[in-house]
Structure 1
Amino acid sequence: MQQWTAIILAGQRPGENAFAASHNVTAKALIPVAGEPMLGRVAATLLRCPEIGRIVVLAQEPDALLAGALGWMAAEPRIATARAGDGISTSIAAVAGSEAAPWPVLVVTADHALLTPGMVAEIIASAGDSDAAVALVERRVVEAAYPETRRTWLRFSDGDYSGANLFALGGPAAQKALALWSRVEKDRKKAVRLLFYFGPMLALRAITRTISLDAAVAKVARRVGLSVKPVRLSIAEAAIDVDKPADLALVERILAARRA
């Protein structure tokens, strides 16, 4: 089996300090979920995945995160750290494909507290030989299980989709996808504004729901000259990360139900 490098995004964005401080920790990635820092939960899950050969924690001060309750991560030979720069995508681009993080690369966020080996296996298996693959979950799947959760939805003719914070990067060609991401990441939570980066006609067709997800992704991929695959995950929890207190409460309930 080909071994992947998992890059965990564990940096701080503006506005997240207050969320972390409300839980008496210095970084959002350290907020405890079911008694364990989120970052530790994600790392432990990835270590259980046979597809993952090594892990890189990417953050502004990554070594400071791997202390105290997460000291075990600093001692784990399959886990390394890398310092993030000003932007998410440029920081990934700087480490992806390096000796520390050889291709192929799976990008996941530290706040994906519900991550499971099944989700990892599903996106890696579905990515195939594409240059890049992005995991999404259809709204019907999410709301059938968790109607109370609020997500950012991208609307297309074949349904509404939420990102699952999982990105498979197959090789050096994926650097083009990261360059594109660097231009749009500041509007990642504003679906309509995000679509305008790819041209007014594509945005109009998406707004009027006259184009499918696959067709829209194919148009974007042709524009940047690489193969991109949208992967529809079948697991509702894949769309739920911890961005706010309501998310944290929901994740705690889900994990309590799993334990029961």
Structure 2
Amino acid sequence: MTHVPPGWTALVLAGQRPGVDKLAASFGIESKALIPVAGELMLGRVLMALADTPEIGKIVVLAQNAPELLRHPDLAWAAAEPRITARVSGRTISGSVRDAVRDPAIGLPVLVTTADNVMLTPATIREFIAGAGTSDVSVAMVERARLEAAVGPNRRTWLTFKGGAYTGANLFALNAPAAKNALRFWERVEQDRKSVLRLASHFGPVLMARLLLRRMTVHEALAAAGAKLGASAAPVLLSDGRMGVDVDKPEDHALAERLLAARG
């Protein structure tokens, strides 16, 4: 019988979408996960935050070139850490996560994050896990006012609901087998992930109309979406506004370096 470490398994999405990553190319490297931010590789920062969180029993780096990433000299500590392993990803992000969850060596519960989630800290991870509760799927989000109070006005993908606008924090919890229903759906609509309008269109006209008219709070919207998928879903609203910052563009990189320098 395969032994699964106690606690949560963290999947770190560190792969590349098709084509050249412009940010990585601007640093003269191929893999975005290996871009340095404030003196540390992005992937290294995320792995360190997870490794320093007692609730995390196992960490899996998921990428097309995952074993190669962990051979980077600055990640020698991670390659030597028995809790950290590499897994080659498949054609899509959602499909790769679904395949990983099906692996008896991984199992549930699973926390999913990304290599560019450089503001991640053990305190935030613990806050998120505590907030995930009993939902099949939990999604970390940051309210716009909280983010702007922490970092100033910022261009993000804002999802607007009754009561406020929110951005994702690249942190998800898959708590129960029903979460696989959500992964199957996500694989079908992955290309629409940045547009609330296109995402809503996959849930039918009634839910779409209520979202467009802002008749639903973020909690109501995720609960309704989960009901359509056959999995309970809920947001976890994070207290650290900086968690709405990931590194996709040069201005994100500059902001992250400033925030990390201020945090020390």
Give TM class, smaller chain: over 0.9
Q: Which of 232, 235, 238 is the equivalent residue of 1:233?
A: 238
Alignment partner of 2:118 out of 97, 100, 113 = 113
Q: CA deviation at 1:15?
A: 5.0
1:241 aligned counterpart, secondary structure: coil
Deviates more, 1:207-216 or 1:38-47: 207-216
Q: Give a deviation string over 1:111-169, Cα, whole Å, max 9, x none.
A: 00110111111111011121111111111111122223211011111111101100001
Cα drift, residue 42 of structure 1: 0.3
Deviation, structure 1 residue 24: 2.2
Partner of 2:209: 204
Residue in 1 that maps onto 2:41: 37
Q: 1: CA distance between counterparts of 2:163 and 2:153?
A: 22
Map of 2:175 onto structure 1: 170
Q: Of 76, 85, 91, which aligns to 1:80?
A: 85
Give the whole-Å Cα distance in 2 for the aligned partners of 1:125 and 1:16.
Answer: 38
The one-letter code sitting in structure 1 at the alignment partner of 2:48 is: A
> 1:10-159 to 2 correspondence within 5 Å?
10-15=14-19, 17-67=21-71, 68-159=73-164
Query: Is residue 190 of structure 1 aligned with residue 229 of structure 2?
Result: no
Decide which moves more: 240-249 or 192-201. 192-201
Aligned partners of 1:139 and 1:161 also within 8 Å = yes
Q: Is the 8 A contact 1:7 1:105 kept in 2?
A: yes
TM superposition outliers: structure 1 runs of 4+ over 3 Å: none
Give the counterpart letter for 2:99 in structure 1. A
> CA–CA distance in 2 between the matches of 1:24 and 1:76?
28
Which stretch of the first structure deviates more once superposed, 187-196 or 157-166?
Answer: 187-196
One-letter code of the match for 1:90?
G
Rounded to whole Å, the distance in 2 between the matches of 1:24 and 1:237 is 27
More moved, 237-246 vs 63-72? 63-72
The alignment status of 1:246 with 2:262, answered yes or no, reads no
Instruction: State which drifts further: 15-24 or 29-38.
Output: 15-24
Aligned-pair CA distance for 1:16: 5.0
Number of positions where the alignment pairs a residue of Structure 1 with one of Structure 2: 259
CA contact (8 A) 2:70 2:86 kept: no
Letter in 1 for 2:15: G
Q: 8 Å contact 2:13–2:62 — kept in the other structure?
A: yes
Partners of 1:46 and 1:52 within 8 A in 2: yes
Secondary structure at 1:166's aligned position in 2?
A: strand
Q: Which moved more, 1:207-216 or 1:40-49?
A: 207-216
Determine helix, strand or coil for the equivalent of 2:43. helix
- For residues 51-97 of structure 1, give each alpha carbon's deviation from its aligned partner in whole angstroms, at most 9, with x where no partner exists: 10110000001011112221222221101111111110000000114
- The match for 2:228 is 223
TM-score, structure 1 as length reference: 0.95
Q: Identify unmatched segments of 5+ residues in structure 1.
A: none
Give the deviation of 1:49 after TM superposition: 0.3
1:193-239 Cα distance to aligned partner (Å, 9 max, x none): 11111122222222221221121112111112221111111110111
Percent sequence identity over aligned pairs: 52
Separation in 2 of the partners of 1:116 and 1:165? 13
Q: Distance in 1 between the 2:260 and 2:179 partners?
A: 34
Structure-2 residue corresponding to 1:7: 11
Q: What's the offset of the Cα at 1:243?
A: 0.8
Asked if structure 2 preserves the Cα contact closer than 8 Å seen for 1:217 and 1:229, the reply is yes
